[in-house]
Every structure is written in C-alpha cells, then in structure tokens.
Structure 1
Amino acid sequence: MNLPNLLTSLRFVLIPVYITVFAQGHMIPAFFIMVAAGITDVLDGYIARRSGQVTTVGMMLDPLADKLMLITVIVSLLVSQHISWAAAAAMFLRDLGMIAGGFYFHFRGKKTVPSNWMGKLTTVLFYLAIMLIFFEAPHAHLYLWAVIAFSFVTSIMYIVMFKALNKPAAF
C-alpha cells in the first residue's frame, strides 16, 4: 500500500473517531477531527500526483472516504438539529448518487472519472459551510444551500466527463 492510499485509509479510521467525539458533545474537537480528515484528503492527492502513485484503488477509495466522512458529519449535524432535514436530504441524494454511480459504472468495466479541481473545490466549500455551522456563524445555512446547489452543478459536470470518457470510438 502506497502513502497516498494509506492517508486515504486513515480517513476511514477517522470516521468512528469523529462519531465518538461528537456523540460525547465535544463539537470543537469533532470539528478538528473533520479538518484532519480534510488535510489527509489534500495530502493524499498531492502526494499521489507528485510522485506518480495514482492508483485505480486510490481513485475509487479517495472519493468514497470523502463522501463517507461528509455523510457522517451531515448525519451528526442533522441528529443534533444543527441542519435541516431538507439540507441533509439534498446532500445525501447528491453524495449517495455519486457513490452508487461510481461503483455501478466501475463494476460494469467503465472508466472512472478521477476527482478534479471542481470536485475538490466542492469538498472544500462543504467543509467551509460545515465550519460555519459548527461555529454558528450568521447566514451559515444560506451559504450551505449555495454550496449544495454548486455541488449539483459539479455532479452534472462529472456525468458529462464520464460520458465523454466512455464514449465508443467512432470509425
């Protein structure tokens, strides 16, 4: 296992750690565990590209780790009534759709679209929105809805790229 995939695996380990800390009512430490997961996301991608260690496994696990951490945070904020059901549902639909679509097409032998700057920007914007919610900033929920809308635009762009990548060759 290479270093980028090890960092991605660490994100999976941080999920139950986050849950435990959040469930004990420690909002700020839980937030920093989420930030640590975000840092591993940035590092694994940077190291993989810079050192030529991009792998198919990493291309599948990286976005899965991102989505599972984000879903975990969403559920915790929903259960603690920090976000609305509507916002949580919109985020779930988008993220679960991306995960299910990625697995479905991967196992059908289709080429996977690697994460790009739009996907990374979406993740950063979600983390920022969540930070604003954790710290109860004014207009945090309005910003969250703007990020949700942007995430759907990003999803559409991934679908377009996927179709282009898997388009049959013309003769």
Structure 2
Amino acid sequence: MKHIPNILTVIRLFLVPVFAFLYFSEAPNAHFYALAVFILAGVTDVLDGAIARKYNLVSVVGTVLDPLADKLMLLTALICLTVDGIMPLWAMAIMLVKELFMITGGLIMYFRKEKSVIPANKFGKLATVLFSLAVFLMIVQPGTWYTMAVLVVAIASKLSAFTSYARHYYHNVRLKRE
C-alpha cells in the first residue's frame, strides 16, 4: 500500500511518450486517444495525491517525481499542440521557459544537502486545472476565441503560481540558510 502513490506517478511518467505517440499517430481520432491518455494521467495525479495524503504516504521521492511527471505531461501536450499549429509559439515559449526553470530549480533544491522541496499550493493547483482545461479545449475546440481566452488565463495563472513559489523559496528556504 505504501508504494501505490509512487507507482501511480511512475505510470504517469510512462504515459508521457504514449500521449505524444498517439497524438501524432495516423490512427483515426488519434487526438482524442491522446486526450484520453492526458485525462488518465490527470486522474492518476489526483488519485496518487489523495492516497498519499489520506494514508500519510507522502514521500520525498513522490514529492519530487509527482510535479516532474505533471510538468513533463503538460510540456509534451503543449509541444504537440504547438508543432501541430494549434497552440501559438509565443505561448509555448513562455511555458517552456517557466517549466524548465521550475524543473531545474526543483532538482537543484532537492540535491542540496537540505533536500528542500516547495510543496504545491492553491495557485499551482488552480493553474494546473486551467491548463488541463486549455489542453482539453485545444484538442476538442481548436482555434475558438474561448479556447484562446482559457489559454491566456492559464498562462497568467501559471506565471502567478511561479511568482508565489519564488516568494515561498525566498522567504522559507533562502532566508533560513542566511
């Protein structure tokens, strides 16, 4: 039982290339199969978090792998949508820089001797929900004004979450070392 959340996270990591493979496959309705994988990954994310919290199975490995799996799935979906011409390049550039910065920063913090990890907060969770909705809409209703509006709001929420995490780091991690 104690490894179930981490097993679900590893499954989510394996779903990342499956999403890309299905998205670009020649199969009829390939984008919808890829969307089903994206949704399955989201369900495993919610499930592993709920199990870890309910049964007090939160681990350092899970705290690092879970957001990494989320970021890799999101970036893969966004790259696929950008390559396909559905998502604007400027939006992908913003997200790529932001997510790579977060991944690099998280790995640096984890591999320091303090092994500090900044936990997810409400801003990050809201941004994730909004981006999941944006990916869903870009696959189901590409090019509509409301899909683009959700995308812009999702990007703004991701940047807001990034600012929140940077403040948390500065006040709770960096200042403690000084």
Structure 1 match to 2:176: 168
Distance 2:132 2:44 in 1: 13
- Give the 5 Å matches for 1:142-157: 142-157=149-164
- Give the 5 Å matches for 1:1-171: 2-25=3-26, 26-110=30-114, 111-136=116-141, 138-139=144-145, 140-166=147-173, 167-168=175-176
Query: Contact 1:59 / 1:115 at 8 angstroms: preserved in 2?
Result: no
Distance 2:10 2:131 in 1: 21
Distance 1:95 1:168 in 2: 25
Q: Superposition RMSD on alpha carbons, in Å?
A: 1.6
- Structure 2: any 5+ residue segments left out of the alignment? none
Query: Contact 1:113 / 1:165 at 8 angstroms: preserved in 2?
Result: no
1:10 Cα offset (Å): 0.5
Q: Structure 1 residues 161-170 or 8-17, which shifts more?
A: 161-170
- Where do 4+ consecutive residues of structure 1 move more than 3 Å? none
1:121 Cα offset (Å): 1.6
The verdict on how the C-alpha distance between 1:12 and 1:169 changes in structure 2, with shifts beyond 3 A counting, is closer
- Structure 1: any 5+ residue segments left out of the alignment? none
- % identical aligned pairs: 36
Distance 1:34 1:169 in 2: 39
Query: Contact 1:59 / 1:114 at 8 angstroms: preserved in 2?
Result: yes
1:161 Cα offset (Å): 1.3
Please give the TM-score of this superposition, normalised by the length of structure 1: 0.93
1:59 Cα offset (Å): 0.5
- Aligned partner of 1:123: which letter? T
Aligned residues: 170
Please give the TM-score of this superposition, normalised by the length of structure 2: 0.90
Distance 1:169 1:29 in 2: 47
Query: Contact 1:18 / 1:30 at 8 angstroms: preserved in 2?
Result: yes
